[in-house]
Structures are given as C-alpha cells and as structure tokens.
Amino acid sequence: MEFNIENIIRPHLLDSKSYTSLRNSYLKKEVVLLDANENPFGSYNRYPDAEHLQLKRKLAEINEVQPEQLFLGNGSDELIDLAMRMFCEPTQDAILVFNPSFVMYEISAKLNNLDVEKLQLNSDFQLEKEVFQDVISKTKAKILFLCSPNNPTGNSIDDLEFYIQSFAGIVIVDEAYIEFSKEVSAVSLLAKYPNLIVLKTLSKAYGMAGLRIGVGFASPEIAVLFNQFKPPYNISSESQKLALKQLENLEELQKNISIILKERDHLKVGLEKLSSVNKIFPSDANFFLIEFKNAETAYQKLLEENILTSLRHPALKNCLRITVGTAEENSKLLNVLSKIPS
C-alpha cells in the first residue's frame, strides 16, 4: 500500500490549527513588536525564532538536505515524544522498539499511554530477520524505532534498510551516535522512503548537550507537521545562537571526535586487561557496554572514587555502560577497576 501521511497522523490533527508566529515575515522591516505580550525591557525580553531559520539552514547545509526537511526539538527527546503524540492514539496504538534499546522510547510511550512491542536482539545485539518478520506480521505498532548505533549496546544494526522498507508505519532511525561510527546516515534514504524520519542530536559528537538541540530529518510533508505541532518557542535564543557559533567551527568539533575515537581504542585495550571484566561489546558510539564478573561491585567501587557510570538497563544483567572520557578520566577509571579482585 502506498504511504499516505493522512492515514498515519492522528485524525483529529488533520484539520487543526497550531500556534504560528508571524514574526519572521515582518522582521526585515522596522517593526514595533506589540504582538506577543513581551516585556519591552531587558536583554532576553524577546521570544526566540520559532522557526529556527538560521540554525536549520546551517544544519541542512552540513547534512546536505533542504531546510524544509528539517525540524528541531528541545533535544531529540522532545521529538521522540512529539512523534508519538502526532501519530499514535493513546490506549489503542503501540510503538515497536529493540530490546534492549534507548529507554526514553518506553518512557514516552508510557506517558502517552501506548503499548510497547519489542524486537528481541540476539546475543550480538543484532536483529534477526525472522524475529522481525514474526513480530511485524501481528504488530499494531504505528512507529518503529531503529536506534543505530544502539544505546545501550553501542553497536550499529546491520541492514537497516531492510527494516525500513518492510514496515508500513513511521520508521524513526535514531542516529544520536552516528558520527562516532563509519556507517552512512539514513538521511541518504529519505528520498526513497516517505515514511522515514531520521533523528540526530547536537548532544553527543557535537558536544552541545547543555544547549538541548535535537534534529529531525524527513520529507517536507512530515517536517511541516513537526514544525506545526512542536511547542512554538522550544529552543531558546541563546541555544540557537550558541549552536550556530559552534557549527561554524566544524574542524574543532571533528578534532574532538577524533580524540574521542582514539580514546575509545585506548580504553578498550585497558579494559581487556582487567580480570573483573568478562566481555566488552563492540562499540560504534562514545561508550562501551561492558559485562563484569560483578557489575554491582564495579559500580560501587567506581562510585566510592567519585566516578559515575550507568547500571540501569533491566534487560542487561551484570553490565555497565561507560562513556569514553578524556585520557585522564579514562586512566582514572582503569586504575580503580584494576583494583577490583577477580
């Protein structure tokens, strides 16, 4: 069946009007701003650009797409939630996610009263096609989340295009960590699949987690809906300004990514020598999933030395997820772990 967005979006949104700011059409003129109940005094008295025009233009250029294909969220967390609210009917619909995968999909689904169907990954954290076929033959999911590289496992998922083309609803490829991998972005598939949405973020490789900027890519038809239904002023003026400034210096950002990748290699070598470690899973991201002989002990020992790691995913027994830090932070980590008896 041919994809038609009108069959996917929640029906009551089809004819609804959203809040629109007309500022951008007037700002080139000398205009007295008495439209938005702002305070005429102060340095931050004006609302930010609701259309994120400059930032979208820059991100479109970097990603070689048209600005009309972009929509920005207050972190990609906001876009994940917005997608559910736009496409899924509470108490009726479901989302489909890897198990294990990024926990926010389930948290947002719960908040939106949606069921969560799971695609169990195998012991290499890959998806097997038979498992996928079996689940989608009886799914009621409206959105399929493909997180690659996957959080918390760290690996890229093989043959993503097969899953994209096999699902009739909305497919969201979450590429929060793609810049740390050698994989080609699914943005290159947008022209081929009208049901595809790709999410990126400035929080990871771009080093701007504090600015809260998530980036969505889709067909102009889908992008217009996200731009229409997002909270109007979801990204502050300062965030937009600072992100633009940082994006002018892509060389510096690229240099930092290279340092992180080198550190990832060093850290792996160090971890492999530890007797408390059972297995280090391959990583295409800026973190490792590590199976310990006793993850709780490792977690507590690190905590005693003021090193915080993550021990949270219910599907992963005896594992810690550890971010690649600076050379100094990583050697501190290895030093503490080396003192844990096997």
Ligand X SMILES: Cc1ncc(COP(=O)(O)O)c(C=O)c1O
Residues near ligand X (CB under 6 A) are: 75-77, 102, 147, 151, 174, 176, 201, 203, 209, 214
The CB density around residue 17, as the number of other CB atoms within 10 Å, is 6
d(CA 326, CA 129): 38
The residues pairing with 323 across neighbouring beta strands, listed in sequence order, are 287
Q: Specify the residue, 151 or 219, whose C-beta has the smaller distance to ligand X.
A: 151
d(CA 88, CA 70): 21
Q: Specify the residue, 65 or 157, whose C-beta has the smaller distance to ligand X.
A: 157
d(CA 337, CA 275): 9
Q: Specify the residue, 150 or 330, whose C-beta has the smaller distance to ligand X.
A: 150
Q: Specify the residue, 178 or 222, whose C-beta has the smaller distance to ligand X.
A: 178
In angstroms, what is the minimal distance from the CB of 340 to ligand X?
A: 27
Tokens of 55: 């930032």
In angstroms, what is the minimal distance from the CB of 80 to ligand X?
A: 7
In angstroms, what is the minimal distance from the CB of 174 to ligand X?
A: 5
CA 247 and chain centroid, separation: 18
What are the Cα distances from residue 256, in Å, to 67, 179, 203, 240, 286?
Answer: 26, 11, 13, 21, 12
In angstroms, what is the minimal distance from the CB of 290 to ligand X?
A: 17
d(CA 214, CA 130): 33
Taking alpha carbons only, the member of 71, 80, 146 closest to residue 110 is 80
d(CA 219, CA 221): 5
Q: Specify the residue, 76 or 219, whose C-beta has the smaller distance to ligand X.
A: 76
Task: Please identify the residue of the shown chain whose CB is closest to the bound ligand X.
Answer: 75
**Hey, is 56 helix, strand or coil?**
helix
Q: Specify the residue, 76 or 181, whose C-beta has the smaller distance to ligand X.
A: 76
Q: Is the Cβ–Cβ distance between 172 and 143 less than 8 Å?
A: yes
Q: Specify the residue, 206 or 292, whose C-beta has the smaller distance to ligand X.
A: 206
* Cα atoms in the Cβ-side hemisphere of radius 13 Å centred on 124: 6
DSSP 170-219: EEEEE-TTGGGSSPPPGGGGTTT-TTEEEEEESSSTT--GGG--EEEE--
Residue 18 DSSP one-character state: -
Compute the chain's Rg from CA coordinates.
Answer: 22
In angstroms, what is the minimal distance from the CB of 79 to ligand X?
A: 8
Q: State the sign of the Cα–Cα–Cα–Cα dihedral 102, 173, 86, 202.
A: positive
Q: Specify the residue, 211 or 222, whose C-beta has the smaller distance to ligand X.
A: 211
In angstroms, what is the minimal distance from the CB of 1 to ligand X?
A: 29
In angstroms, what is the minimal distance from the CB of 98 to ligand X?
A: 11
In angstroms, what is the minimal distance from the CB of 152 to ligand X?
A: 8
In angstroms, what is the minimal distance from the CB of 125 to ligand X?
A: 14
Q: Specify the residue, 74 or 195, whose C-beta has the smaller distance to ligand X.
A: 74
